[in-house]
Amino acid sequence: MTNIEDIRKEVVEFLKKTLEVKDVKVIKTAKVSDGWEAEAEVYEESSFIKSLGLPTRVQDRNIYAVKLSGSLEVESYERKGQLSPRE
């Protein structure tokens, strides 16, 4: 039987690999009829400053939604929003 810790591990591993980031924090996990839904907080390089070609340590705090099947296969993910940057 799948538990929430299994979901958390799968989401963290997937987002770290896909987004090439170091830190992922799962902030929500919910069982839905056909699988699982999770939200995770991810700090990424500031896309705006990066687009200007400037070096920076500023990171954007983004929230990602991840949908998993009952067998823990990632079916979809999307960035839900951006919160205030950190240095």
Sequence spans of domains, the chain: 4-86
Strand order in the sheet with 59-69: 24-32, 35-45, 59-69, 74-86
> What per-residue confidence (pLDDT) applies to 41?
96
Please give the sequence-ordered ranges of beta strands (E in DSSP) within 4-86, or none if there are none.
24-32, 35-45, 59-69, 74-86
pLDDT at 42 over 80: yes
**Is the Cα dihedral 17, 64, 41, 66 positive or negative?**
negative
Task: Please state the rounded mean pLDDT for residues 11-27.
Answer: 95
> What per-residue confidence (pLDDT) applies to 83?
60
Task: Please state the rounded mean pLDDT for residues 35-46.
Answer: 93
> What per-residue confidence (pLDDT) applies to 31?
94
* CA angle (86 as vertex; 4, 12 as ends), nearest 5: 20
- CATH number assigned to the domain with residue range 4-86, chosen from the 4 options 3.30.1490.100, 3.40.50.620, 3.40.50.300, 3.10.450.630: 3.10.450.630
> What per-residue confidence (pLDDT) applies to 82?
65
Place of tokens 């991840």: 66
